[in-house]
Every structure is written in C-alpha cells, then in structure tokens.
Structure 1
Amino acid sequence: MPVVPPPVFALAAGIAQHLLAPDRPAGGARKLASAGIAVAALGLDASAVAAFRRHHTTVNPLDPARASSMVTGGAYRLTRNPMYVGMAGLLTAHAVRRGGWLTPLPAAAFVVLVDRLQIPAEEAAMEANFGEAYARYRARVSRWLPVRA
C-alpha cells in the first residue's frame, strides 16, 4: 500500500507546475477557462467526499480496507475515482492558468502515479471487502473518465 496520500502527490505536482510555468500573467481567456475547469473539479471532489460521508465510509486513501460500504451513486456512476479525477482537474486548471508547454506534465505524472500506485491497492481492498458486487461495479464503470464501448 502506498504511504504517500494522493493529495500530497497533487500538491507536489502543483508546485512543479508553478516552477515550470513561464513568468507572464494569464490573459482573460486562460483565466476564464481555468476557473471553469477548477469549479467543475472542486464540485466533483466535494460531491464525492459528501457521498462517502453520507455512506459513513472512510475517505482515507492509505487504508482502503476500512471501507464499510460501496458508493456507486452520484459521481460514482460515471467514474470509480471522482476524487482523483477532481484532483487531476484542479491540476489541469492550474496548468491552463499558468500557461506554457511544460505545465501539463506534472498533471500527467499525477495521473500515472495514482493510476499505477494508489488505485490498484484500493481496488484490491474493495474486491476483498465487497467481492462480486465490486467486480460488477468495476465492469460497469470506468476507472477515470466515462467511455462508451
């Protein structure tokens, strides 16, 4: 199980974006676009955390075995990981706001790290806790973004 919580990865990615960004102010279009992306990402994160609270289950990514119930409604109908999608969205908003060709790279690194290090451990814990019900949910809902087959 990873020992670094994904929000720490996201914070590190945001700092890296700041360091990689050109030193010029954002124009109106970039400000507007980044604000829209950020609002959507924050809304997704907030709704996902609220759903966990309503179901009285843990939001602690370092101990997914403590999950007491499966959350499959709301944002969880569209993606199995709305909190991570929201964090990636915030990093995308920051990259748009800061500008430059290199600022998206830390956001991409965040997605890869979470996808390869964090999510597999969480999915194994969910499979152990909820068995076939989680396997059906996993088959029905995409890990990251909704896709039609």
Structure 2
Amino acid sequence: MNLQKVLLPPVWFLLSIILMVGLHLVLPVRQLFFPPVTYLGIGAIALGITVALFCDYLFRQKNTTIKPFQESSYLVREGIFQYSRNPIYLGMITVLTGLWLYLGSLTPVIIIPVFAWLIQEMFVKEEEQMLEAKFGEEYREYKATVRRWI
C-alpha cells in the first residue's frame, strides 16, 4: 500500500491539527502567547482557509483537478499562483501557524515544520515532476519565475 496515495494532504493536515491540540493539552511545556496576541491566530486561520478556498475556486474555474497525483488539464498560474506554486499547502501551513498562535503554548509548533517537510517530500516533489512531464517548457518557465512556497 502506498501511504501517500491513501493519506492525502487533507488527512495529514487533520492529523497535524489533532497532534497540535494534543501536545497543547498534554505537554504544553510553556505558554508563550496570551490574549490578545492569541487572537491573531484566528486571523491566520481565517487567512489560510480563504487562500485554500480561493485556490479551489481557481481550479474549478479552469476545470482542472485539485487532487494530488491526478493529471492536470490546465496549469493554474493566475491569482495567488503568481506568487507561490503551492498556495494550498501554504494555506494549510498558515492555518497550523494560526492554531499554534491561538493555543499559545510551545510544543505544538514542532508539528508545523514536520508537516511542511512531509508535504514537500510526499506530494510537492512528485506533483512537480508530473506537471513538468505534462506541461514541459511552460512549467519549467513557471518554476523558474515563481517560488515553491513564498
């Protein structure tokens, strides 16, 4: 069984949220942020969700798949994709960062770089290979002008 084909990014995202809350409740170590600073986390969560929903809208508008490992019919370069090749994953990281700020304790933050690394290694690299195989020079030009993350 190929783990990356079964556990897609939304599952890893949900597991990360559960782990962050669990670490906060069981092993908070130290409270770093307090209200009103913790309320900034709500804004970051809202921003991350908005980015992901806007990306979903762009994919639907161009009638191409948003699902990893499915062949795209269109290379989305509009909107936020002008600034990041992976804004959906960036939105997920923004939500996790917002959750960390909202929780305010130290230990949940360790999940964020682990999630980013896992997504890059399990999904982004293979998705990039697929896009390059499908779109060739158009994707190579895009990759040369737009960063992977930000």
TM-score for the superposition, normalised by structure 2: 0.89
Distance in 1, matches of 2:106 and 2:35, equals 18
Distance in 1, matches of 2:54 and 2:107, equals 30
Identity in percent: 28
Q: Which has the higher mean CA deviation after the structures are superposed, 39-48 or 81-90? A: 39-48
Distance in 1, matches of 2:76 and 2:102, equals 33
Find 2:16's aligned residue among 13, 17, 22.
13
Provide Cα deviations, 1:99-140, integer angstroms capped at 9, x if missing partner: 211111111111000111110110010001100000000010
Partner residue in 1 for 2:52 = 45
Amino acid at match of 1:112: W
1:36 and 2:39 correspond: no
Partner residue in 1 for 2:91 = 86
Q: Which runs of 5+ in 2 are unaligned?
A: none
Partner residue in 2 for 1:136 = 141
Q: Which runs of 5+ in 1 are unaligned?
A: none
Distance in 1, matches of 2:98 and 2:60, equals 26
Provide Cα deviations, 1:30-80, integer angstroms capped at 9, x if missing partner: 34211111121111111111100000000111x23x200000010100100
Alignment partner of 1:12: what SS?
Answer: helix
Deviation, structure 1 residue 27: 4.1
1:59 and 2:66 correspond: yes
1:111 and 2:136 correspond: no
Aligned residues: 142
Find 1:70's aligned residue among 70, 75, 90.
75
Are residues 31 and 99 of structure 1, via their aligned partners in 2, closer, same or farther at CA, if it must alter by over 3 Å? Answer: closer
Alignment partner of 2:76: what SS?
Answer: coil
Provide Cα deviations, 1:7-42, integer angstroms capped at 9, x if missing partner: 111111111101111398x84323421111112111
